[in-house]
Amino acid sequence: MKRSVLVLLWLPAIGSGDESHIQLKDGAGKELVAAKCAICHSLDYIPMNAPFLGPADWEKVVDKMVGTMGAPVSDEEVPVVLRYLNTNYGQ
């Protein structure tokens, strides 16, 4: 996995762009993922990086976002986020 690609996941979005054109795949947890992830970065990071991330990778990313970056995702919400990402954007 290329480190430069993963860096994109961790960079905060610059400015407050219009996210209405970004359509995440439908599925259980979509609204939660959209609400929580868009607080810090553009939602297009999810489909853009999906080809490079399997279940263990998504878990590392979510752990970093919550534990290191302070994303406001509760312990109860983490499994919902991971299930959505792995079902819809996992390898």
Task: For residue 91, name the pLDDT band (cuts at 50, 70, 90).
Answer: confident
pTM of the predicted protein model: 0.77
12-57 pLDDT tens trace: 444 445 666 778 999 999 999 999 999 999 999 999 999 999 999 9
Question: Given this model, what pLDDT does residue 5 score?
Answer: 47
For the chain, how far is it from start to end, CA to CA, in angstroms?
Answer: 13
- CA 27/CA 42 separation, integer angstroms: 19
